[in-house]
C-alpha cells in the first residue's frame, strides 16, 4: 500500500503550485458519444478553482456546443495540446494503445479502464508511471454512491435496452382495447436484475408490458415485485452473493439447469433483455441458440451484457442480427444511445470522485491507506498494478477475465 510520501514521490516529489488541471479525453474516431466532462461538471471544477481543458467540438455528439463549455470557464483546445501540463485526464473508456503512449508519467487517468478484459493495457499504464483510477472498482457502498459510474451507466443501459427492443418489435408493448379488438400486452423477460435489469423492468412496466424477471440472487425477488413484475422461480440449489453484493458464478451444472428451466419462459416472451454479469469474470451464457429458435418470429433479444462476453449465445458485439426470425442485438454501448444523460451522470460521478481523492492544494492523490474508496479505485500507481486480480490476469492471461 503506497503511503503519502511515495504518492508524492511518484508525481515528481515536490507539490506543484496552483490548482489541478483536468483534461477531458474524447477520441475523435470513437463510436461512443459520451463525454467525461459536461458543461455542468466543468462549472463545478472551475468553481473549485481547477482548470478544465476540453477538445474543440468534443461535446457535439451528446448535444453540448463549444460555447456552453466556454461559458462556464472551460478552456477549449486542440487534441495535440490536451495533455500538456495536465494533472488529471478523464476518459469514458480506456484510451487506445497509441494514446496511452502519449500520456506523460505522473498524470492521473480516471475512467472505465476495463481492467479485467484488457490487463495488458493496465500493465502498460503502470510501466509508463501513469497513476490510474478505475471506475469499475468503486466500492458498491452507500458512501461511494455518488461516484458509482457502473450504476449510473447501467441504469441508462437498462432503459435504452427496452426502448431499443420496443422500436424493433413487430408488436406494441401495452394492452390496447380498440373497436377492432383487444391487443394483448407484450411479454418481456429480463434476466439479471441488478441496476440495469431493474431499470429495464421499470421501463417495460411503464410501457405497459407484462414483465417477468429472474436473478440468481434470491434477494432480488422483492425488488422485482415492487416494480410490478413477476419473479420467475427457478430452483438451482445454493447460489449466493459475494460480500460486495455481486452474484457468485454458477457451476456448469447449475447453468444447465437454469437454461432448461428458462427455455419455456423464453419461448413465451416477445422481448428478452439480458443483463447478467459476474464481476471481473466473463458473463454466463444463459440464452442458447435453441432458446432463441423457440421464440416467435419478430421477437427481439437485447443482450446488455455483451461488453463482458454476453448472455446470449448468438449475440455479436456491436451487431444487430436476424436469427431464426428473431432480432438479436448485442450493443456494448447502450448508454451512448442516451449520451447526453449518460454523460451528465458520469461527469457528476467524476466530480465526486476527484473532489474526494485529489488534494486541490498539492494536486496530489490523498493517502490511499486512509481512504476506502481511493484504495479501491487506485489501479496503477508508482509503476505497479495494485489490484491483485488484475496482477494475476497479467501473469496468466489464459485464466480469462471479463470478456
Choosing from 215, 270, 303, 331, the residue that interacts with ligand NAD (CB under 6 A) is 215
Beta carbon nearer to ligand NAD, 70 or 341 = 341
Contact status: 389 vs ligand NAD (CB under 6 A): no
Cell of 313: 449465445
> Of 132, 151, 269, 348, which residue is the catalytic one?
151
Query: Three-state DSSP class for 271?
Result: strand
Contact status: 217 vs ligand NAD (CB under 6 A): yes
Which 8-state DSSP code applies to residue 244? T
Question: Are 53 and 75 in contact, with CB atoms under 8 Å apart?
Answer: yes
Smallest distance, ligand NAD to C-beta of residue 200, A:
11
Contact status: 306 vs ligand NAD (CB under 6 A): no
Contact status: 285 vs ligand NAD (CB under 6 A): no
Smallest distance, ligand NAD to C-beta of residue 72, A:
29
Part of the chain binding ligand NAD (CB under 6 A), chosen from 24-32, 76-84, 185-193, 381-389? 185-193
Q: What is the distance between the alpha carbons of residues 150 and 138, in angstroms, rounded to a whole number?
A: 8
Q: What is the distance between the alpha carbons of residues 135 and 147, in angstroms, rounded to a whole number?
A: 8
For the question of residue 398 being annotated catalytic, the response is: no
Choosing from 74, 195, 207, 272, the residue that interacts with ligand NAD (CB under 6 A) is 195
# residues near ligand NAD by CB under 6 A: 32
Q: What is the distance between the alpha carbons of residues 312 and 6, in angstroms, rounded to a whole number?
A: 46
- Nearest Cα neighbor of 33 from 57, 62, 65 is 62
For the question of residue 148 being annotated catalytic, the response is: yes
Q: What is the distance between the alpha carbons of residues 44 and 349, in angstroms, rounded to a whole number?
A: 12
CA contacts within 13 A on the Cβ side of 208: 11
Beta carbon nearer to ligand NAD, 215 or 270 = 215
Residue 274 sits at the vertex; the CA angle it makes with 271 and 280, to the nearest 5 degrees, is 170
Phi, psi of 287 (to 5 degrees): -105, 110
Contact status: 140 vs ligand NAD (CB under 6 A): yes
Contact status: 286 vs ligand NAD (CB under 6 A): yes
190 strand-pairing partners: 213, 273
Q: What is the distance between the alpha carbons of residues 381 and 130, in angstroms, rounded to a whole number?
A: 7
For the question of residue 293 being annotated catalytic, the response is: no
Contact status: 349 vs ligand NAD (CB under 6 A): no
Query: Three-state DSSP class for 98?
Result: helix
Contact status: 192 vs ligand NAD (CB under 6 A): yes
Phi, psi of 248 (to 5 degrees): -85, 150
Choosing from 141, 170, 370, 396, the residue that interacts with ligand NAD (CB under 6 A) is 141
Cell of 19: 490548482
Part of the chain binding ligand NAD (CB under 6 A), chosen from 8-16, 89-97, 120-128, 195-203? 195-203
Residue nearest to ligand NAD (CB): 194
Query: Three-state DSSP class for 4?
Result: helix
Smallest distance, ligand NAD to C-beta of residue 262, A:
9
Q: What is the distance between the alpha carbons of residues 225 and 289, in angstroms, rounded to a whole number?
A: 29
Mark 142-181 with x for binding to ligand NAD (rule: CB under 6 A) and - for no binding. Answer: x--x--x-xx--x---------------------------
Part of the chain binding ligand NAD (CB under 6 A), chosen from 47-55, 88-96, 166-174, 269-277? 269-277
Residues 6+ apart with CB under 8 A from 129: 10, 105, 106, 382, 383
Contact status: 303 vs ligand NAD (CB under 6 A): no
Choosing from 15, 245, 297, 298, the residue that interacts with ligand NAD (CB under 6 A) is 245
Q: What residues make contact with ligand NAD under the rule CB under 6 A?
A: 140-142, 145, 148, 150-151, 154, 191-197, 214-217, 220, 245-247, 250, 258, 275-279, 284, 286
- The catalytic residues are 140, 145, 148, 151, 246
Amino acid at each position: 500500500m503506497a503511503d503519502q510520501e511515495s504518492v508524492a514521490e511518484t508525481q515528481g516529489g515536490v507539490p506543484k503550485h496552483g490548482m489541478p488541471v483536468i483534461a477531458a479525453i474524447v477520441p475523435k474516431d470513437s463510436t461512443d458519444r459520451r463525454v467525461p466532462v459536461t458543461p455542468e461538471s466543468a462549472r463545478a471544477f472551475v468553481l473549485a478553482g481547477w482548470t478544465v481543458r476540453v477538445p474543440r467540438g468534443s461535446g457535439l455528439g451528446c448535444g453540448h456546443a463549444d460555447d456552453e463549455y466556454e461559458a462556464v470557464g472551460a478552456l477549449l483546445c486542440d487534441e495535440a495540446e490536451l495533455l500538456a501540463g495536465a494533472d488529471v485526464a478523464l476518459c469514458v473508456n480506456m484510451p487506445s494503445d497509441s494514446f496511452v503512449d502519449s500520456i506523460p508519467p505522473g498524470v492521473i487517468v480516471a475512467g472505465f479502464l476495463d481492467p479485467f478484459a484488457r490487463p495488458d493495457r493496465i500493465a502498460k499504464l503502470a510501466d509508463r508511471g501513469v497513476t490510474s483510477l478505475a471506475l469499475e472498482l468503486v466500492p458498491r457502498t452507500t458512501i461511494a454512491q455518488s461516484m458509482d459510474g457502473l450504476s449510473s451507466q447501467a441504469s441508462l443501459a437498462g432503459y435504452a435496452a427496452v426502448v431499443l427492443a420496443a422500436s424493433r418489435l413487430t408488436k406494441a408493448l401495452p394492452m390496447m382495447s380498440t373497436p377492432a379488438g383487444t391487443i394483448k400486452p407484450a411479454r418481456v423477460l429480463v434476466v439479471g436484475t441488478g441496476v440495469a435489469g431493474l431499470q429495464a423492468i421499470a421501463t417495460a412496466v411503464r410501457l405497459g408490458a407484462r414483465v417477468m424477471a429472474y436473478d440468481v440472487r434470491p434477494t432480488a425477488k422483492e425488488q422485482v415485485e415492487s416494480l410490478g413484475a413477476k419473479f420467475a422461480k427457478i430452483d438451482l440449489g445454493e447460489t449466493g452473493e459475494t460480500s460486495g453484493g455481486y452474484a457468485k458464478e454458477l457451476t456448469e451444472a447449475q447453468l444447465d439447469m437454469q437454461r432448461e428451466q428458462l427455455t419455456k419462459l423464453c419461448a413465451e416472451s416477445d422481448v428478452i433483455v439480458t443483463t447478467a454479469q459476474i464481476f471481473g469474470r466473463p458473463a454466463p451464457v444463459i440464452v442458447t441458440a435453441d432458446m432463441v429458435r423457440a421464440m416467435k418470429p419478430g421477437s427481439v433479444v437485447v443482450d446488455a451484457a455483451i461488453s463482458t462476453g454476453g448472455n446470449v449465445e448468438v449475440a455479436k458485439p456491436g451487431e444487430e442480427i436476424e436469427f431464426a426470425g428473431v432480432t438479436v442485438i448485442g450493443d456494448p454501448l447502450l448508454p451512448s444511445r442516451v449520451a447526453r444523460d449518460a454523460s451528465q451522470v458520469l461527469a457528476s460521478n467524476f466530480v465526486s470522485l476527484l473532489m474526494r481523492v485529489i488534494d486541490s492544494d498539492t494536486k496530489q492523490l490523498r493517502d490511499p491507506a486512509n481512504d476506502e474508496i481511493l484504495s479501491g479505485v487506485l489501479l496503477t500507481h508508482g509503476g505497479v498494478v495494485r489490484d491483485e486480480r488484475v496482477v494475476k490476469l497479467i501473469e496468466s492471461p489464459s485464466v480469462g477475465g471479463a470478456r
